[in-house]
């Protein structure tokens, strides 16, 4: 049975980790809105039980109007929003050097991985604050840690490191509101971003973001997590 007090919106839910997170949340009783750049690319139910998964919604994180409409529509249709999982992202600069960048790719990475998540947070927080329960989970990467920063996937690393910084800012800003904000690195898994270099499934990667999205009201404060362990 759906716990209709908790409605979750997952971006980039048309495949891979996003679809797996949506499925995990639906299996735990949340009503999940599956958001994708093209609503027709989001499979009905995202592979979950159709009755629990809810509906698909078109949401292009690079388009402010699309973002605004998706969250207004979600609140109108369901009367509430409790959880946002910022999963949509791109990794398009393998082999690029910071000293000789393709700035079109850099801009695309920043616009999706940082500003796209930021747009969604800005649209979601006012809706989430109407309730006493709120969770925002930003999908980050182990490649974004400053202590382990390296010279590969440079715009991806920089964009995700900036997303970690945004997460920290939101944690400080929303303290005391009942909204927990986390950045979660689910690790490498067999998605298009992994180039076939791992056999770990998206379902295995969905465990930690799903756990953070379901934290009880008296759960830990928000921060940066990898496999339920803080990362910096």
Write out the catalytic residue numbers.
Answer: 156
Does residue 132 contact residue 218 with C-beta atoms inside 8 Å?
no
Cα(118)–Cα(178) distance, integer angstroms:
19
At 188, list the tokens: 């490498």
Cα(148)–Cα(122) distance, integer angstroms:
30
Cα(111)–Cα(63) distance, integer angstroms:
10
- How do 179-185 and 224-226 pair as beta strands? parallel
* Strand ranges for 55-153 from DSSP E: 56-58, 83-86, 134-139
Cα(47)–Cα(68) distance, integer angstroms:
26
Cα(137)–Cα(174) distance, integer angstroms:
14
């Amino acid at each position: 049975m759906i716990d209709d007090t908790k409605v979750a919106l997952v971006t980039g839910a048309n495949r891979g980790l996003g679809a797996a997170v949506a499925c995990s949340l639906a299996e735990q009783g949340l009503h999940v809105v599956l958001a994708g750049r093209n609503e027709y690319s989001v499979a009905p139910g995202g592979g979950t039980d159709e009755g629990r998964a809810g509906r698909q919604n078109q949401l292009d994180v690079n388009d402010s109007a699309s973002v605004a409409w998706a969250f207004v529509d979600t609140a109108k249709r369901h009367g509430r929003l409790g959880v946002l999982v910022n999963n949509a992202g791109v990794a398009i600069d393998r082999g690029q050097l910071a000293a000789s960048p393709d700035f079109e790719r850099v801009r695309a990475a920043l616009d999706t991985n940082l500003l796209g998540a930021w747009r969604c947070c800005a649209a979601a927080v006012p809706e989430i604050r109407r309730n006493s329960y709120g969770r925002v989970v930003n999908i980050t990467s182990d490649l974004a840690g400053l202590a382990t920063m390296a010279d590969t996937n440079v715009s991806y690393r920089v964009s995700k490191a900036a997303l970690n910084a945004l997460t920290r800012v939101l944690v400080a800003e929303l303290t005391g509101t009942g909204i927990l904000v986390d950045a979660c690195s689910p690790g490498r898994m067999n998605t298009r971003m992994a180039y076939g270099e791992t056999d770990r499934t998206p379902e295995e990667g969905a465990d930690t973001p799903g756990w953070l999205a379901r934290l009880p009201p008296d759960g830990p404060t928000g921060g940066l997590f990898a496999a339920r362990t803080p990362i910096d």
